[in-house]
Amino acid sequence: MPAVAASGFRPEDRLRYRREFLRVYQEGRRVGGRYFGLFYLRGAGDRHRLGLTVPRQVGGAVVRNRVKRRLREIFRLNRAVLGDNPLDLVINVYPPGGQAVSVELRAEFLRTAREALQGRGRPGRKEPPRRGRSAAAATPAKGGGRG
């Protein structure tokens, strides 16, 4: 088997379930950047794992999938930078992240990962990022309800 396949991005390397994301948001810490916010939680498992959220504001499906592919590859190639203590990482991509090239995403990943390893960052969120419509869109206009 080729060495590249052995160091691929396997299912065990990703956060897949909502409860895993929520745990990182609630118990972990956050480091911000221009293109994304990195949430991290130490010692959650036996390996480094990555979860990605890329909202529609970043762009269409093609753009969002491209950003996810790039970030997974950056994580895969730079896993050694994260050291031996396992981290669960959640990257929340901001709208400018859709326009970023791989070099910019890699530089931001390395910077935020370095800060995470040093224990920097603010406490994580009590609540996960909002899903669906914004709060303003979810609140009906005055007098706009059924009557």
Query: What CATH number did the domain enclosing 39 receive?
Result: 3.30.230.10
Residue 127 placed within a domain: no
- In percent, how much of the chain has pLDDT > 90? 59
Give the pairing of strands 36-42 and 29-32. antiparallel
- What pTM, to 2 d.p., does this model score? 0.79
Total domains in the chain come to: 1
Residue 144 placed within a domain: no
Q: How far apart are CA 9 and CA 34, in angstroms?
A: 25
Who wins on pLDDT, 138 or 76?
76
pLDDT score, position 129: 60
Q: Which domain holds residue 73?
A: 13-121
Residue 62 placed within a domain: yes
Residue 8 placed within a domain: no
Q: How far apart are CA 14 and CA 4, in angstroms?
A: 18
Strand, helix or coil for residue 134: coil
Query: Which DSSP state fits 119?
Result: T
Query: Taking residues 90-110, what's their average pLDDT?
Result: 96
Residue 7 placed within a domain: no
CB 31 within 8 A of CB 92: no
